[in-house]
Amino acid sequence: MALPQDAPRLIISDIDGTFITSANRVTPRLRDTITRAVSAGAHFGLATGRPHRWLIPVLEQLPLAPVCVCANGAVVYDPATDTVLHAFELMPAEMAEVLTEVERALAGVLHGYGVERVGSSALDPEDECFLITPEYNPDAWDSRFGVVDKQTLISEPAAKLLVRCPEMTSAEMYALIAPRIDDTVAHVTYSMDEGLIELSRPGVNKAAGVQYLAERYGVSANEAIAFGDMPNDLELLRWAGTGVAMGNAKPVLHDAADHITATNDEFGVAAVLETWY
């Protein structure tokens, strides 16, 4: 499908596999294109599965501090003021129901749980905001996290509930878990291939978080362009007037997108935005 003639008023991009390269870098070409777009009057934001505490390595590569939709839409965060503008949290009762169904779905398979609590700052201690059970398969980068039992894990509201299983892919886990979770209890998705399922409050996904951002800017969905590569970007691409799947995106995104661009290592986002900027 051809790109629209009018320049988008709102540009939203996923981070991993989309905005940054496989080396975790924002290319100078993309940085300059985003700078031109914002200078021309466009609004720009990032929409990611990451918690806002994990944005700093990306934001420090940009000459601006965009408001970001984090935790798959559960948190809207302003890095310019280090402020959580809005949070959609999953409640303990719903998390308990999810754990019951996951235990049945993954009976006999090693798995563990984690939660991302919202907190108030990107500088909040990681071991207070990212909690895991001992079975979460800790490795070197997990050493910062707080380790608790399942009841403590779900005792407070959370931006996301995570299920991790090292013996399965995320798609395999999704096929077992998603049919068991009522969509009035939690929203189920995944953003990586390596055995991790992410659950959030019902109806909360990247599109819900970006809708909040669009209303803040007075922009309609038809005036927005969004970029993504994984299943947790699906609702966002469908919401935007122009949904763009990366060349490296999962087939489900290619099927849903209005346009397919090059990969994240081949300047895919910049190549599209250079149509107007």
Which CATH number do you get for residue 62? 3.40.50.1000
Q: Give the E-state strand segments of 51-176 in sequence order.
A: 68-70, 75-78, 83-87, 112-116, 130-132, 146-147, 160-164
pLDDT above 70 covers what percent of the chain? 97
Residue 144: band (very low, low, confident or very high) from pLDDT cuts 50, 70, 90: confident
Amino acid 142: pLDDT: 56
Does residue 104 share a domain with residue 177?
Answer: yes
Q: Which of 185, 200, 215 is the last residue of a domain?
A: 200
pLDDT tops 80 at residue 150: yes
- Residue 222 carries which DSSP code? G
Mean pLDDT of 122-143: 81
Does residue 233 share a domain with residue 165?
Answer: no
- Residue 258 forms part of a structural domain: yes
> C-alpha angle with apex 85: 113 to 146, nearest 5 degrees?
25
- Residue 2 forms part of a structural domain: no
Does residue 82 share a domain with residue 22?
Answer: yes
The total number of structural domains that make up the chain: 2
Order across the sheet with 224-228: list the strands: 83-87, 75-78, 68-70, 43-47, 10-13, 224-228, 242-245, 259-260
Q: What CATH number does the domain containing 144 carry?
A: 3.30.1240.10
Q: Which of 179, 200, 221 is the last residue of a domain?
A: 200
Amino acid 85: pLDDT: 96
Mean pLDDT of 156-163: 97
Two structure tokens written together for 16: 């991993």
Two structure tokens written together for 162: 């995570």
- Residue 254 forms part of a structural domain: yes
Helix, strand, coil distribution of the chain in percent, nearest 5? 40, 20, 40
Residue 140: band (very low, low, confident or very high) from pLDDT cuts 50, 70, 90: very low
Does residue 240 share a domain with residue 171?
Answer: no
- Residue 1 forms part of a structural domain: no
Q: In terms of DSSP H, where are the helices of 47-205?
A: 56-59, 92-105, 126-129, 150-153, 170-177
CA 277 to chain CA centroid, Å, is 26
pLDDT tops 70 at residue 139: no
Does residue 99 share a domain with residue 60?
Answer: no
- Residue 5 forms part of a structural domain: no
Does residue 191 share a domain with residue 96?
Answer: yes
Amino acid 207: pLDDT: 97
pTM: 0.91
Q: Which of 157, 183, 200 is the last residue of a domain?
A: 200
What domain range includes position 166? Answer: 92-200
